[in-house]
A and B are shown apart, each in its own frame.
Chain A
Amino acid sequence: LVPPPRLRELIRTIRTARTQAEEREMIQKECAAIRSSFREEDNTYRCRNVAKLLYMHMLGYPAHFGQLECLKLIASQKFTDKRIGYLGAMLLLDERQDVHLLMTNCIKNDLNHSTQYVQGLALCTLGCMGSSEMCRDLAGEVEKLLKTSNSYLRKKAALCAVHVIRKVPELMEMFLPATKNLLSEKNHGVLHTSVVLLTEMCERSPDMLSHFRKLVPQLVRILKNLIMSGYSPEHDVSGISDPFLQVRILRLLRILGRSDDDSSEAMNDILAQVATNTETSKNVGNAILYETVLTIMDIKSESGLRVLAINILGRFLLNNDKNIRYVALTSLLKTVQTDHNAVQRHRSTIVDCLKDLDVSIKRRAMELSFALVNGNNIRGMMKELLYFLDSCDPEFKADCASGVFLAAEKYAPSKRWHIDTIMRVLTTAGSYVRDDSVPNLIQLITNSVEMHAYTVQRLYKALLDDISQQPLVQVSSWCIGEYGDLLVSGQCEEEEPIQVTEDEVLDVLEGLLVSNLSTPVTRGYALTAIMKLSTRFSSVNRIKKVVSIYGSSIDVELQQRAVEYNALFKKYDHMRPALLERMPIMEKTATNGPTEIVQTNGETEPSVLDTKHPPPVTQPANQVRGVIISKYAGLHLCNLYIGIPPMTAYNKNGLKIEFTFERANPNPNIAVITIHASNSTEADMTDFVFQAAVPKTFQLQLLSPSSNVVPALNQGTVTQVIRVLNPQKQQLRMRIKLTYTHKGSPVQDLAEVNNFPPQSWQ
């Protein structure tokens, strides 16, 4: 009987395969042989076969048929078998597998084995992947081993206990007695894992935290010894003694010192010592400094120590090592709100990082720069940020543009500067500007009354140059519609007024209507603008002609507008001037974010910009809409939808379901969808239930519907709100299920909804 090939033989063979197909064939052949060997209960070669199976598993091939074999290996008395068995268990037998629990008894026996290396295997396996049930069963054994004098086992037991606590937090108490002398150990392995265990306990339980605060002096002593002691070859890394332990102690000190004055004071000196004495030429020293800075910033340290910490970060920013620069920027971002002035001192270095080659560094530098903008530095900072906007990668442009708008809103030194800044963003990064910026800008422009003439002139000139950037085009169209009269009358004070005729303006707007570059939304803006000019220009006939042409447009949205505007000319002409008059100044609603329009005069207040995602402002569209509808109830007019276009999700058998969208404040990752169900048949749809499911990376919440009767003949709609959390900004897809009773019979239907507008999930 030929023994099966050895592991390394098989590896060699498989590596000779020249194609994927060849490899698959070899593996299938070997797997078949291994399977029969398993069936024959071959003890001698089980270990070898499982090892080979693990290799093939790593290549991506299925290995589930080896699961039980791992258990048999674990139960064997040969150390080689146990080693491979436990390895196999860790690779193939996580807690999702049914057979996982069968390991419990074996592990229990091995935890009590006479050979420490076997005990070690059991502890390691339990500590890496033990399920909650297993942890419950075996916690007692772990606790026993935590008290042993064998440091090899004690250190492993400590980490195993950490895992047990993570899986079954209620068991934490039982480990408390064993922690009593952990820090008196001399063995670094035990010390390190003990500190990890203590950290875990303190993070999970306020009681434990108070209980362990008394350890601060001891921890300080241990840390001091590490720093002051001479060279210790066993734990030395580039001249630093056991950096891993130092970092862990610093982290535990952080947790103990947080919100406790006495503890913070007790650790003050050692933190200062570490901060000033640690060698910074290599990564290892900087790793310790980094942890020290994090601790200083988190506890109740005195201001001198905090400044020291920020200065360390400032020095990090100048380090050649980009990794160091990266962590510096990350840390500064975390502290910029609380230690704003200290961070301000490093502003120019931070701004320099905008030019870094690394994308992550650039992003952080950008976020931090926005966080540092204030009334005093707005002009200089904006120059740098606009330069960055010009040259940065597309992935930054949207965030940067939003940030510029918010910063400008908060700290603009003058209205003219503000408009100019907006113009600059729209013309240089116009296609990246977020859709929700458009209503925001419109509101801003409306409220800057004395700048109307200047604004419309600049926007008009920008349109002459380029009609491809939709946000720019939309804002421009809107402005021309509103202030076209100022444009043609040449009233601009801020700069040389241009000479332009009504016809030229209408040419431009009509050009937008026909251009391939214009989106349907933009066309809507253009048409409405043209309509508005009918009360501001004298060429009413031309406008009438344009409007009537679009009454038969294929675009339903455009068609509807044109038809309504036509009606306005024909039947409601007496109302037209009032309907199309200048927009009033808009009240800005209080948002959940810290953005309010405040006229600043260069006050030094810390910028309260949310650095990760500039909070989206409540769309004044809702404001605008509210004003119009209330004034002109009954007329479905001025569908100035600013925001995400609605969509028809389902339309079958007389049941039509439309989705309308909003982005929720303050979380831009949540899309709020309102469904509107209507019924065009002659009978009501009763017991109407709408259900939805989304892919795994999303979360969905369905609120109560307005009713469960969808009345016949479109006499009313049932509405229901869906909230979708989309943290990964993946393309939104949904499956919906509709059930209702119609004319006495139950109806059920399933549908996929895939045509979500990109703005609802991007």
Chain B
Amino acid sequence: MPLITSICAFPLTTHCMQFMLLFSRQGKLRLQKWYVPLSDKEKKKITRELVQTVLARKPKMCSFLEWRDLKIVYKRYASLYFCCAIEDQDNELITLEIIHRYVELLDKYFGSVCELDIIFNFEKAYFILDEFLLGGEAQETSKKNVLKAIEQADLLQEVRHITESAWSDSV
């Protein structure tokens, strides 16, 4: 039995976004992107609690709430909640824009995106997210460039072997 047990789950370093969750109104997880190392058990606990907290919010309430040591920014688009956890010094309003940008990217890619698209093509939703954000920060601020990169990468899937430098031009 340890004499002094360990501290809270979240690391104390300055970070932008700690995680992003997408879930339905029934609380079903549709995407989870974690930018901090946590055990599966901790992730599940956080997800469960946070989903419950956000789903309990009334429509007239603001998009921000304090939860544990973090700020949660969330927005509902149709049947999906987009939920980000950011740190104390981060700008909530621009985080709303980040969420909105991601939704726009999904929308452009899938053509009028709906929850079913994200369910059946979750891996693509991840690929798009990973071209937009890296380590919790935006890597590309041009919508066009993100979509172009995804398009090219999708094409690359058709090629059998990629050892040749056929696609190394910059975007």
A394 at the interface (CB under 8 A from B): no
**A244 contacts across to B, CB distance below 8 A:** 94, 97-98, 101, 138, 141
Inter-subunit contact A124/B160 (CB<8 Å): no
Inter-subunit contact B97/A283 (CB<8 Å): yes
Q: CB-defined interface of B19-39 with A at 8 Å, one 1/0 digit per residue?
A: 000000000011110110111
Inter-subunit contact B162/A77 (CB<8 Å): yes
Inter-subunit contact A322/B61 (CB<8 Å): yes
Residues of chain A from 110 to 124 with CB closer than 8 A to chain B in the complex: 113-118, 120, 123-124
Inter-subunit contact A115/B167 (CB<8 Å): yes
- In the complex, the chain B residue whose C-beta lies closest to that of A60 is B44
- Give the CA-CA distance A94 to B97 in the complex, in Å: 28
Shortest distance between the CB of A720 and any CB in chain B (Å): 13
Shortest distance between the CB of A523 and any CB in chain B (Å): 38
**A415 contacts across to B, CB distance below 8 A:** none
Inter-subunit contact B97/A237 (CB<8 Å): yes
**B3 contacts across to A, CB distance below 8 A:** 691-693, 702
**A117 contacts across to B, CB distance below 8 A:** 149, 152-153, 156, 167
B78 at the interface (CB under 8 A from A): no
Are A323 and B168 also in contact (CB < 8 A) when A163-B135, A698-B5, A700-B4 are?
no
Shortest distance between the CB of A275 and any CB in chain B (Å): 15
Inter-subunit contact A247/B134 (CB<8 Å): no
Q: CB-defined interface of B111-148 with A at 8 Å, one 1/0 digit per residue?
A: 00000000111110011001100110111111111000
Inter-subunit contact A128/B35 (CB<8 Å): yes
- Give the CA-CA distance A162 to B145 in the complex, in Å: 22
- In the complex, the chain B residue whose C-beta lies closest to that of A363 is B66
Q: Which residue, A166, A323, A694, A727, has most C-beta atoms of chain B within 10 A? A: A323
Which of A185-193, A471-479, A495-503, A642-650 is the interface stretch? A185-193
Which of A284-292, A370-378, A453-461, A631-639 is the interface stretch? A284-292
- Give the CA-CA distance A743 to B26 in the complex, in Å: 63
Are A162 and B137 also in contact (CB < 8 A) when A84-B123, A244-B97, A696-B6 are?
yes
Shortest distance between the CB of A365 and any CB in chain B (Å): 13
B14 at the interface (CB under 8 A from A): yes
Inter-subunit contact A283/B93 (CB<8 Å): yes
**A579 contacts across to B, CB distance below 8 A:** none
A359 at the interface (CB under 8 A from B): yes
Inter-subunit contact A55/B122 (CB<8 Å): yes
Shortest distance between the CB of B69 and any CB in chain A (Å): 8
Inter-subunit contact A83/B153 (CB<8 Å): yes
Inter-subunit contact B163/A287 (CB<8 Å): no
- Give the CA-CA distance A193 to B138 in the complex, in Å: 7
Shortest distance between the CB of A130 and any CB in chain B (Å): 9
Inter-subunit contact B166/A242 (CB<8 Å): no
**B126 contacts across to A, CB distance below 8 A:** 87
- Give the CA-CA distance A180 to B34 in the complex, in Å: 31
**A359 contacts across to B, CB distance below 8 A:** 61
Query: Number of residues in A with C-beta < 8 Å to the partner?
Result: 99
**B120 contacts across to A, CB distance below 8 A:** 8, 11-12
Shortest distance between the CB of A574 and any CB in chain B (Å): 53
Inter-subunit contact A291/B94 (CB<8 Å): yes
Interface residues on B, range: 35 or more
A512 at the interface (CB under 8 A from B): no
Residues of chain A from 192 to 206 with CB closer than 8 A to chain B in the complex: 192-193, 196, 200, 203
Inter-subunit contact B139/A80 (CB<8 Å): no
Residues of chain A from 159 to 201 with CB closer than 8 A to chain B in the complex: 159-160, 162-163, 166, 188-189, 192-193, 196, 200
Inter-subunit contact B139/A54 (CB<8 Å): no
**A78 contacts across to B, CB distance below 8 A:** 160-162
Shortest distance between the CB of B41 and any CB in chain A (Å): 11
- Give the CA-CA distance A126 to B170 in the complex, in Å: 21
Are A124 and B134 also in contact (CB < 8 A) when A54-B123, A323-B64 are?
yes
Shortest distance between the CB of B46 and any CB in chain A (Å): 12
Q: Choose one: A11, A159, A286; the contact of B139 (CB below 8 Å).
A: A159
Inter-subunit contact B32/A128 (CB<8 Å): no
B50 at the interface (CB under 8 A from A): no
A361 at the interface (CB under 8 A from B): yes
Q: CB-defined interface of A688-719 with B at 8 Å, one 1/0 digit per residue?
A: 00011111111111100000000000000000
**B165 contacts across to A, CB distance below 8 A:** 114-115
**B97 contacts across to A, CB distance below 8 A:** 237, 243-244, 283-284, 287
**A243 contacts across to B, CB distance below 8 A:** 94, 97
- In the complex, the chain A residue whose C-beta lies closest to that of B119 is A11
Which of A27-35, A148-156, A384-392, A653-661 is the interface stretch? A148-156
Shortest distance between the CB of A255 and any CB in chain B (Å): 10
**B9 contacts across to A, CB distance below 8 A:** 696
Shortest distance between the CB of B39 and any CB in chain A (Å): 6
Shortest distance between the CB of A328 and any CB in chain B (Å): 11
Inter-subunit contact B62/A188 (CB<8 Å): no
Q: CB-defined interface of A85-117 with B at 8 Å, one 1/0 digit per residue?
A: 001000100111000000000000000011111
Inter-subunit contact A156/B139 (CB<8 Å): yes
- In the complex, the chain B residue whose C-beta lies closest to that of A159 is B134
Inter-subunit contact A693/B2 (CB<8 Å): yes
A310 at the interface (CB under 8 A from B): no
- In the complex, the chain B residue whose C-beta lies closest to that of A129 is B37
Q: Choose one: B14, B127, B139; the contact of A87 (CB below 8 Å).
A: B127
- Give the CA-CA distance A286 to B63 in the complex, in Å: 15
B103 at the interface (CB under 8 A from A): no
**A750 contacts across to B, CB distance below 8 A:** 1
- Give the CA-CA distance A357 to B137 in the complex, in Å: 33
Shortest distance between the CB of B121 and any CB in chain A (Å): 8
Inter-subunit contact A58/B62 (CB<8 Å): no
A327 at the interface (CB under 8 A from B): yes
Inter-subunit contact B135/A162 (CB<8 Å): yes
- Give the CA-CA distance A714 to B54 in the complex, in Å: 55
- Give the CA-CA distance A378 to B25 in the complex, in Å: 46
- Give the CA-CA distance A697 to B46 in the complex, in Å: 13
A735 at the interface (CB under 8 A from B): yes
Inter-subunit contact B60/A160 (CB<8 Å): no
Shortest distance between the CB of A249 and any CB in chain B (Å): 12
Q: Choose one: A60, A115, A129, A737; the contact of B1 (CB below 8 Å).
A: A737
A332 at the interface (CB under 8 A from B): no
Inter-subunit contact A691/B170 (CB<8 Å): no
Q: Choose one: A80, A163, A361, A696; the contact of B62 (CB below 8 Å).
A: A361
A360 at the interface (CB under 8 A from B): yes
Inter-subunit contact A192/B138 (CB<8 Å): yes
Inter-subunit contact A79/B156 (CB<8 Å): yes
Inter-subunit contact A115/B13 (CB<8 Å): no
Inter-subunit contact A323/B92 (CB<8 Å): yes
B70 at the interface (CB under 8 A from A): no
Shortest distance between the CB of B58 and any CB in chain A (Å): 8
Inter-subunit contact B1/A196 (CB<8 Å): no
A22 at the interface (CB under 8 A from B): no
A630 at the interface (CB under 8 A from B): no
- Give the CA-CA distance A247 to B96 in the complex, in Å: 13
The 3 closest A-B pairs by CB, nearest first: A287-B93, A114-B165, A189-B140
Q: What are 19 A-B pairs with beta-carbon distances under 8 A?
A: A77-B161, A94-B34, A116-B167, A116-B168, A152-B170, A160-B134, A192-B138, A200-B14, A234-B143, A290-B93, A291-B91, A325-B62, A327-B92, A357-B60, A357-B61, A360-B64, A693-B1, A693-B4, A728-B68
* Chain B residues at the A interface, C-beta cutoff of 8 Å: 1-9, 13-16, 29-32, 34-35, 37-39, 44, 60-66, 68-69, 91-94, 96-98, 101, 119-123, 126-127, 130-131, 134-135, 137-145, 149, 152-153, 156-157, 159-171
* Chain A residues at the B interface, C-beta cutoff of 8 Å: 7-8, 11-12, 15, 51, 54-55, 58-60, 77-80, 83-84, 87, 91, 94-96, 113-118, 120, 123-124, 127-129, 131, 149-153, 155-156, 159-160, 162-163, 166, 188-189, 192-193, 196, 200, 203, 234-235, 237, 242-245, 247, 251, 283-284, 286-288, 290-291, 294, 322-327, 357-361, 691-702, 727-728, 735, 737, 750
Additional A-B contact list (17), CB under 8 Å, known A80-B157, A115-B162, A288-B94: A8-B120, A8-B121, A79-B153, A117-B152, A152-B149, A155-B140, A188-B141, A189-B140, A189-B145, A203-B14, A234-B144, A242-B141, A283-B97, A323-B93, A324-B93, A326-B64, A360-B64
